[in-house]
Amino acid sequence: MAAPGWLTSSPIAHRGLHGDGAEAPENTMPAFARALEADVPFEFDVQLSRDGVPVVLHDADFSRMAVNGSGPVRELDWARIGELRIGAAEERVPRLDDVLELVNGRVPVVVDVRRWGFDRSSALERAVTERLRGYPDAAVVQSFDPVAVGRFRRLVPDRAVGQASGSLPSAGPVKALLGRMMLTNAVMRPDYLAYELAALPDPFVTFWRTARRPVIAYTAHSPEEADRASRLADGYFFSGFVPGTRA
């Protein structure tokens, strides 16, 4: 499926339209509400709780974000996750259902599916697919895991699916090199690439990039980085400022 035009025509707020202050922490409902108010597309992260609830958080565990607890997401039930609070504003951890109900197609969204560690189960991909069934068209999915990309290509053939990659420093030198090469693209056939801005330009990205497979750079943190992303990629994610302003 061709990547939708909004991926390249409009900058995308990374983890919602959040700030460095106490209000609207990343990947929370206030950050998503701010994106809606500004009419800005946004990206957010999804992973499974121990009891199979797709929850919105980037990290594998809550140690960085939660102010009243910690622990790996995949080892906690939703009941416990629902008790945790994020940031100084003590926001609740959203579920994928909460985000989709809030947005309901009013702005485009990118669902980044986080698969931390090795897991043969397709439960995460199937849970996300179930929630996207019947959702308005303006939603795409992406993942760093090529297995997830391949699964989504089968499960949601009516939506664009992206392969995310970059320098991958936590993967180790061999896995990082293989990840940057994205050799699995030949089989998984992603509709677009999401690639680390700091790692661009990259010869593997140049090889896989086509007129029908755009590259979306992540993440521009300033107008200067946005200019660089515009030169090196077809679109970009942003954070910490609003494109078109100096804020």
Q: What's the pLDDT tens digit per position in 13-55? A: 999 999 766 689 999 999 999 999 999 999 999 999 999 999 9
- Give the pLDDT of residue 22: 67
Q: Which two tokens stand for residue 156?
A: 């949601």
**Burial readout 79-102 (b: 16 or more C-beta within 10 A, e: otherwise):** eebeebbbbeeebebbbbeebbee
Q: Which residue has the higher pLDDT, 173 or 78?
A: 78
Burial (CB count within 10 angstroms: exposed 0-12, middle 13-18, buried 19+), residue 68 = exposed
Q: Is the pLDDT of residue 247 over 80?
A: no
Query: What single letter denotes the amino acid at residue 237?
Result: F
- Give the pLDDT of residue 9: 95
Q: How far, in Å, CA of 82 to CA of 99, rounded?
A: 15
Residues above pLDDT 70, as percent of the chain: 97
Residue 202 lies in a domain: yes
- Give the pLDDT of residue 113: 98
Residue 245 lies in a domain: no
Residue 247 lies in a domain: no
Q: Is the pLDDT of residue 246 over 50?
A: no
Residues above pLDDT 90, as percent of the chain: 86
- Give the pLDDT of residue 133: 96
Q: Is the pLDDT of residue 148 over 60?
A: yes
Domain that holds residue 33: 5-238
Q: Which residue has the higher pLDDT, 32 or 180?
A: 32
CATH code for position 197: 3.20.20.190
- Give the pLDDT of residue 21: 60
Number of domains in the chain: 1
Least confident of 15-24, 99-108, 109-118, 227-236: 15-24
Residue 117 lies in a domain: yes
Phi-psi region of 106 (alpha: psi -120 to 50; beta: other; left: phi over 0): alpha
Q: Is the pLDDT of residue 80 over 60?
A: yes
Burial (CB count within 10 angstroms: exposed 0-12, middle 13-18, buried 19+), residue 137 = exposed
Residue 51 lies in a domain: yes
Residue 19 lies in a domain: yes
Residue 119 lies in a domain: yes
Least confident of 122-126, 166-170, 195-199: 166-170
pLDDT, tens digit, 9 for 90 and up, residues 183-241: 999 999 999 999 999 999 999 999 999 999 999 999 999 999 999 999 999 999 999 99
Average pLDDT over residues 115-122: 83
